[in-house]
Structure 1
Amino acid sequence: MKKIGITGQNGFVGRHLYNTLGLFPEEFERIEFKKEFFNDEHKLDEFVSKCDVIVHLAAMNRHENEQFIYETNIALAKNLVDALKRTNSKPHVLISSSTQEERDNLYGKSKREGREAIINWANENEGKVTGLIIPNVFGAFGKPFYNSFIATFCYQLTHGETPSIANDGEVKLIYVQELVDQIIKEIRSGKSTEELFINPTASKKVSEVLHLLNQFKTKYFENGEIPVINDSFEHNLFNTYRSYIDYKNHYPIKFTQHTDPRGAFVEIIRLGIGGQCSFSTTVPNITRGNHFHTRKIERFAVIKGKAQIQLRKIDSDEVLNFYLDGKDPAYVDMPIWYTHNIKNIGEEELYTIFWINEAFNPEDADTYFVEV
């Protein structure tokens, strides 16, 4: 079992990497890191000494003072090198850098020099290093106005604001989970590669991305329709967009009922894609679920009986509770990385319709069981 430590563990990429490593408990042990360690030699040395692998992601991306960004990032790399030397530790160090290395800005310069500092340590101390040259990263839970323009656009479109384009350039992109998968691949290989260029998985104009996000807003956010999704980029972008919705205040969403003397008719879902649709009956006081997905899009629709649906982001203690009643049919969609369940809290059988965007495959289930 490899012991993995991540500087910047609670950052955008760091949190995704940390959570994904947790899906392989028999292969990886995660060594906890806190940003305060950089200001405490004893704690930093203790952390470094425990690790077989260190993924150095801690960095400052944006600040009004570019010189401060440069000095901060250089200091972080230097502190890590000093700790490695003090403890005579020789973990495999993977350091994240940026395609901005070759640009004439202080951020790119800080990333290049930080990577070179780790390489120099490895060469002088028989260590192993992998320098990851990474394009623009987007994905769920990124910090708006900081991590990427996509994070900013998604936040604005789900919070009543209107995005604007400052520069409609072509941007090379990689989805955060795709990046995490490549980092884990490098961890498993154990090979040193001083300069490893991570290939982007998409190249889009800013206006193209905004056009897609506006479609998601109109069709999904405002009308509850699952939009047409043509490829993996659009799937990843859609899941990214969904992560910025204020679930606590957005759900449950009531269906429109059409009633006449015969009874009622309710449209459950309108789809631009396929998937699997099913229904279940649940007896009183029974709970289904308690699992999460990393990529799947899923809807729970209660059509008879009373239900409590619970959601909890797997790295949070906050539980969101939604109460649905078949007398006033409604639905809740499940966000990625949120463990969820549904419980019959009524006195009669609960009828629930489930839709998910892909048929269940036991060899690639994307279903991880964790209690809400």
Structure 2
Amino acid sequence: MKKIGITGQNGFVGLHLYNTLGLSPDEFERIDFNKNFFNDETQLDHFVAQCDVIVHLAAMNRHESEQVIYNTNIKLTSSLIKALERTGSKAHILISSSTQEERDNLYGKSKKEAREALINWAEINGGKVTGLIIPNVFGAFGKPFYNSFIATFCHQLTHGDIPKIATDGEVKLIYVQELVERIIHEIREEKSNYYLNIEATSVQKVSEVLGLLEDYHAKYYQNGEIPVLSSSFEINLFNTFRSYIDYKTHYPVKFTQHVDPRGAFVEVIRLGIGGQCSFSTTVPGITRGNHFHTRKIERFAVIKGKALIQLRKIDSDEVFNFELDGNEPAYVDMPIWYTHNIKNIGDEELYTIFWINEPFDPKDPDTYFVEVNK
């Protein structure tokens, strides 16, 4: 079992990597990191001494002063190298760098010099270093106005603002989970690669990305329709968009009922995408679910009885509770990386319709069982 630590563990990429490593507990042991370790040699040394692999993601990306960015990034890597030297570590260090290494700015310069400093440590001390040259990363839970223009656009569209394009042009992109899978591949390889160029998985114009996000906002956010998603990039972009919705205020969404003397008609889901639709009855007091998905899009629609739907982001203690009543049919959509369940809290059978965008495949289920209530 490899013991892996991540500097920048609670950052955008770090948190996705940390959570994904946790899906393979028989292969990887996660050594927790706190940013305050950089200010305490004893704690930093203790962290470093435990690790077989350190993924060095801690860095400053944006600040009003480029010099502050440069100084911060050099200092963080210097502190890590000193700890490696004090502990005699021969760990495999994977450092995140950027395609901006070749640009004439202090951020790019700081990333290049940090990578080269770790290479120098490895050559002198017998360690291993992999320098990850990474294109623009996007994905769920990125920090708006900091991590990517996509994070900013998603936040603005789901919070009543109008996105504006500063400069339109083609951008090389990689989805955060694709990057995480590549990092884990390199961890398993156990080889040095001082300059490993991580290929972008998509090249998109900024205006085209905004057009897709505006379509998701109009169809999905405002009307509940799952839009056409014609590529893996669009599925990843759609899941990214969904992660910025304020679930506390947006759900549950009540259906429009068309009532006449015969009864009522309710459209449960309008699709541009296909997928699998299923139906369940649940007796009083029973709970279904307590699992999460990393890529699937799923809807729970209550049409009869009373239900409690609960959601919890797997690295959070906060539980979202939604009570639904079949007298006013409603639905809740399940965001990625949120464990979720549904419980019959009424006195009669609960009728629920479930829709998911891909049929269940036992060889690749993308279903991980974690209790919502710890």
Which residue of 2 is the match for residue 102 of structure 1?
102
CA positional deviation for 1:274: 1.0
Matched residues in 2 for 1:165 and 1:198: separation? 26
1:229-240 correspondence to structure 2 within 5 Å: 229-240=229-240
Asked if 1:78 corresponds to 2:72, the answer is no
1:204 partnered with 2:204: yes
SS at match of 1:364: coil
Residue 65 of structure 1 pairs with residue 85 of structure 2: no
Task: Give the Cα–Cα distance (whole angstroms) in 2 for the partners of residues 294 and 284 of structure 1.
Answer: 30
The reply to whether residue 279 of structure 1 matches residue 273 of structure 2 is: no
Which residue in 2 is equivalent to 1:367?
Answer: 367
**Aligned equivalents of 2:347, 2:27: Cα separation in 1:** 45
Which residue number corresponds to residue 292 of structure 1? 292
Q: Does 1:89 align with 2:82?
A: no
Mapping of 1:1-372 within 5 angstroms?
A: 1-372=1-372
Letter of the 1:187 counterpart: I
- Work out the CA distance in 2 between the residues paired with 1:94 and 1:77: 12
Query: Identity percentage over the alignment?
Result: 79
Could you give the per-residue CA deviations for residues 37-77 of structure 1, whole angstroms, max 9, x where no partner exists?
00000000000000000000000000000000000000001
Which whole-Å CA distance do the structure 1 matches of 2:160 and 2:273 have between them?
A: 27
* Partner SS state of residue 133, structure 1: strand
**Partners of 1:154 and 1:248 in 2: CA distance:** 17
Residue type of the alignment partner of 1:358: E
Distance 2:221 2:31 in 1: 38
Partners of 1:306 and 1:297 lie apart in 2 by 23
- Cα distance in 2 for partners of 1:353, 1:215 equals 26
**3-state SS of the aligned residue for 1:15?**
helix
Q: Aligned equivalents of 1:101 and 1:144: distance in 2?
A: 23
The one-letter code matched in structure 1 to 2:276 is Q
User: Which whole-Å CA distance do the structure 2 matches of 1:141 and 1:164 have between them?
Assistant: 21
CA RMSD of aligned residues (A): 0.3
* One-letter code aligned to 1:321: N
Secondary structure in 1 matching 2:145: coil
Match for 2:172: what amino acid?
K
C-alpha deviation, 1:115, in angstroms:
0.4
The CA deviation at 1:233 is 0.3
Shift of 1:363: 0.6
In the superposition, the TM-score normalised over structure 2's length comes to 0.99
Would you say how many aligned residue pairs link Structure 1 and Structure 2? 372
Which consecutive unaligned segments of at least 5 residues does structure 2 have?
A: none
Look up the SS of the partner of 2:191 in the other structure: coil
- What letter matches 2:34 in structure 1? K
What whole-Å deviation, never above 9, does each CA across 1:79-126 have from its counterpart, x for those lacking one?
Answer: 000000000011100000000000000000000000001100001111
- Determine the C-alpha separation between the residues in 2 that align with 1:103 and 1:240: 28
Name the SS of the counterpart of 2:82 in structure 1: helix
SS in 1 for 2:185: helix
Please tell me the residue identity of whatever aligns with 2:105. N
CA distance in 1, matches of 2:83, 2:132: 21
- 1:297 is displaced (CA, Å) by 0.1
Distance 1:92 1:366 in 2: 29
The one-letter code of the counterpart of 1:225 is E
- Structure-2 separation of matches of 1:10 and 1:248: 23
Q: For 2:190 and 2:351, how far apart are their aligned partners in 1?
A: 50
Distance in 1, Cα, partners of 2:82 & 2:222: 53
Q: Kindly provide the amino acid, as one letter, of the partner of residue 315 in structure 2.
A: D
Task: List structure 1 segments (4+ residues) > 4 angstroms apart after TM superposition.
Answer: none
Separation of aligned partners in 2, 1:56 and 1:174: 19
In structure 1, what is the Cα distance between the partners aligned to 2:220 and 2:273?
13
The CA distance in 2 between the partners of 1:308 and 1:340, in whole Å, is 11
Once residues 137 and 102 of structure 2 are traced to their aligned partners in structure 1, the CA distance between those partners, rounded to angstroms, is 18
Deviations 1:122-167 (A, max 9, x none): 0111110100000000000000000000000000000000000000
Which residue type is aligned with residue 325 of structure 1? Answer: D
> What SS does structure 1 have at the residue aligned with 2:272?
coil
How far residue 169 of structure 1 moved from its aligned partner, in angstroms, is 1.3
Instruction: Tell me, in whole angstroms, the C-alpha distance in 2 between the residues paired with 1:367 and 1:189.
Output: 26
Structure 1, unaligned stretches of length 5 or more?
none
